[in-house]
Amino acid sequence: MSVGQLRARRRRLAARVSDPELTLRGVLLREGRRCSSAGCRCRRGELHGPYAYLAVYAGGSSRTIYVPSALEAAVAKRVAVTQRNEELLAEIARINLELVRRRALE
């Protein structure tokens, strides 16, 4: 690709980046859970739920956060938008790196 083509591709990618206020990094999981009652059916493998959790990775460790069902769709949307934005930004970063190599960064 020529420098002009790279810049045009970068512009198209940047135009597709969505609202950064929606950014929510993590992986949305649905998991069954055991409760604390000794005689409960969940002790025989019939787990409660499934419930939604957001697995968040930061600083080399991960934690999961419970997502109330009323928020699950909104969280799923934000996680998907964030994933797409990060793919677009990664591609823009590759183009900018190539433009540095070509002494054509602008």
Whichever of 35 and 73 has its CB closer to Zn ion, that residue is 35
- The CA-atom distances, in angstroms, between 60 and each of 7, 28, 30, 38, 69 are 34, 18, 22, 35, 28
DSSP annotation string for 29-63: EEEEE--S-TTSGGGGT--EEEEEEEEEEETTEEE
Binding residues among 17-56 for Zn ion as defined by CB under 5 A: 35, 40, 42
In the complex, what is the shortest distance from the CB of residue 39 to Zn ion, in angstroms, rounded to a whole number? 9
In the complex, what is the shortest distance from the CB of residue 70 to Zn ion, in angstroms, rounded to a whole number? 22
Number of residues that bind Zn ion (CB under 5 A): 3
Whichever of 40 and 74 has its CB closer to Zn ion, that residue is 40
Contact residues for Zn ion, defined by CB under 5 A: 35, 40, 42
